[in-house]
Structure 1
Amino acid sequence: MAKKKEKKVNVSGKPKHSLDVNRSNDAKKESRSAATVRRLKMYNTRPVRDRKGKVLSHELQSKELPSTRIQPDRRWFGNTRVVNQKELEFFREELQSRMSSNYNVILKEKKLPLSLLNDHQKQARVHLLDREPFQDAFGPKTKRKRPSLMAADYESLLKKADGSQDAFEQKYGSSVSAEANDEDGFRDLVRHTMFEKGQSKRIWGELYKVIDSSDVVVQVLDARDPQGTRCYHLEKHLKENCKHKHMVLLLNKCDLVPAWATKGWLRVLSKEFPTLAFHANINKSFGKGSLLSVLRQFARLKRDKQAISVGFVGYPNVGKSSVINTLRTKNVCKVAPIPGETKVWQYITLTKRIFLIDCPGVVYHNNDTETDVVLKGVVRVTNLKDAADHIGEVLKRVKKEHLERAYKIKEWDDENDFLLQLCKSSGKLLKGGEPDLMTAAKMILHDWQRGRIPFFVSPPRVEDLSEEPNVNGVDLDDSVDGNEASAAMKAIADVLSSQQQTSVPVQNDLYSENELKGEAADQYPNTNANEDILAPDSNTSEEDPTNVS
Structure 2
Amino acid sequence: MPQARRKTPFSGKAKKQQLQTKKNKTSTLLMSTSTGTTAYDVISVNYQPSRAKGGRDTNRYALKFYRETDEELRIKKEDALKELKPVPEKDLEINPSDYFPSDVSFPKRPPWDFNMTPAQLDAQEQRYFKNYIDSLQATEHWKDMSYFELNLETWRQLWRVLEMCDVLLLVVDVRYAGMMFPPSLYTYIVEEQKKHMILVLNKIDLVPPAVVAAWKTYLTAKYPELKVLYFTSCVGYNLRGATSDKAGLQVRRRKGKQRMCAEGATMILDACKDIVQGDVDLSSWEKKIKDETNVEFDYEEDAEVGETILEKADTSFYTHERFKSGVLTIGCVGQPNVGKSSLLNALMGRSVVSVSKTPGHTKHFQTIFLTPQVRLCDCPGLVFPSTVPRPIQILMGSYPIAQLREPYTTIRYLAERLDLPKLLRIDHPEGDDTWSPRDICDGWAKKKGYLTAKAARLDTYRAANSLLRMALDGKICLWLRPTGFLQDKEKLESSEDIKYIKWVQALSPLSQTEEPSSSESGSHSDTDSDSDTDDDHTTIANTFAALATQN
State the shift of 1:422 in Å. 1.5
For 2:193 and 2:414, locate their aligned partners in 1 and report how far apart those are by CA, in whole Å: 39
In the alignment, what sits opposite 2:381?
A: 361
In the alignment, what sits opposite 2:422?
A: 404
Residue pair 2:367, 2:375 contacting (<8 A) in 1 also: yes
State the shift of 1:187 in Å. 8.5
In the alignment, what sits opposite 2:368?
A: 348
Residue pair 2:260, 2:347 contacting (<8 A) in 1 also: no
For 2:395 and 2:501, locate their aligned partners in 1 and report how far apart those are by CA, in whole Å: 31
Summarize the Cα distance change of 1:255–1:501 in structure 2 as closer, same or farther, 3 Å threshold: closer
Residue by residue over 1:404-441, the C-alpha shift from the partner in whole angstroms, topping out at 9 and shown as x without a partner, is 23343476421111112111111111233311111011
In the alignment, what sits opposite 1:513?
A: none
In the alignment, what sits opposite 1:433?
A: 456
Count of residue pairs the alignment pairs up: 317
Q: Which protein shows a greater Rg?
A: 1
For 1:73-472, list aligned pairs within 5 A.
Answer: 189=143, 196=147, 198-243=149-194, 245-271=195-221, 272=223, 273-281=226-234, 282-283=258-259, 285=261, 286-303=263-280, 305=324, 306-398=326-418, 400=419, 403-409=421-427, 412-430=434-452, 431-459=454-482, 460-461=484-485
State the shift of 1:201 in Å. 1.3
State the shift of 1:464 in Å. 12
AA matched with 1:455? L
For 2:530 and 2:199, locate their aligned partners in 1 and report how far apart those are by CA, in whole Å: 23
For 1:364 and 1:241, locate their aligned partners in 2 and report how far apart those are by CA, in whole Å: 19
For 2:530 and 2:260, locate their aligned partners in 1 and report how far apart those are by CA, in whole Å: 10
Structure 1 residues 273-282 or 226-235, which shifts more?
Answer: 273-282
In the alignment, what sits opposite 1:505?
A: 505
AA matched with 1:447? M
For 2:208 and 2:426, locate their aligned partners in 1 and report how far apart those are by CA, in whole Å: 23
For 1:296 and 1:206, locate their aligned partners in 2 and report how far apart those are by CA, in whole Å: 27
What secondary structure sits across from 2:217 in the alignment? helix
Residue pair 1:289, 1:546 contacting (<8 A) in 2 also: no
Q: Which protein has greater RCO, CA pairs closer than 8 Å, 6+ apart?
A: 2
AA matched with 1:408? I
For 2:210 and 2:455, locate their aligned partners in 1 and report how far apart those are by CA, in whole Å: 49
What secondary structure sits across from 1:350 in the alignment? strand
AA matched with 2:544? E
**Percent identity for Structure 1 against Structure 2:** 24
Residue pair 1:284, 1:540 contacting (<8 A) in 2 also: no
Structure 1 residues 440-449 or 370-379, which shifts more?
Answer: 370-379
What secondary structure sits across from 2:368 in the alignment? strand
Residue by residue over 1:125-182, the C-alpha shift from the partner in whole angstroms, topping out at 9 and shown as x without a partner, is xxxxxxxxxxxxxxxxxxxxxxxxxxxxxxxxxxxxxxxxxxxxxxxxxx89xxxxxx
Residue pair 1:505, 1:534 contacting (<8 A) in 2 also: no
Structure 1 regions of 5+ residues with no counterpart? 1-174, 177-184, 468-495, 508-523
State the shift of 1:337 in Å. 2.2
AA matched with 2:351? N
Residue by residue over 1:193-236, the C-alpha shift from the partner in whole angstroms, topping out at 9 and shown as x without a partner, is xx745342111111111111000101101111110111222112
What secondary structure sits across from 1:454 in the alignment? coil
What secondary structure sits across from 1:364 in the alignment? coil
Give the TM-score of the pair, scaled to structure 1.
0.51
State the shift of 1:500 in Å. 3.5
What secondary structure sits across from 1:270 in the alignment? helix
For 2:331 and 2:438, locate their aligned partners in 1 and report how far apart those are by CA, in whole Å: 44
For 2:498 and 2:526, locate their aligned partners in 1 and report how far apart those are by CA, in whole Å: 20
Structure 2 regions of 5+ residues with no counterpart? 1-97, 100-138, 235-257, 281-322, 508-519
For 2:217 and 2:426, locate their aligned partners in 1 and report how far apart those are by CA, in whole Å: 37
For 2:506 and 2:207, locate their aligned partners in 1 and report how far apart those are by CA, in whole Å: 7
AA matched with 1:295? C
State the shift of 1:378 in Å. 0.7
Residue pair 2:190, 2:196 contacting (<8 A) in 1 also: no
AA matched with 1:287? G
Runs of 4+ residues deviating >6 angstroms: 185-188, 462-467, 496-499, 544-547
What secondary structure sits across from 1:224 in the alignment? helix
What secondary structure sits across from 1:226 in the alignment? helix
RMSD over aligned CA atoms reads: 3.8
Summarize the Cα distance change of 1:330–1:228 in structure 2 as closer, same or farther, 3 Å threshold: same
For 2:490 and 2:375, locate their aligned partners in 1 and report how far apart those are by CA, in whole Å: 35
Summarize the Cα distance change of 1:385–1:428 in structure 2 as closer, same or farther, 3 Å threshold: same
For 2:440 and 2:387, locate their aligned partners in 1 and report how far apart those are by CA, in whole Å: 29
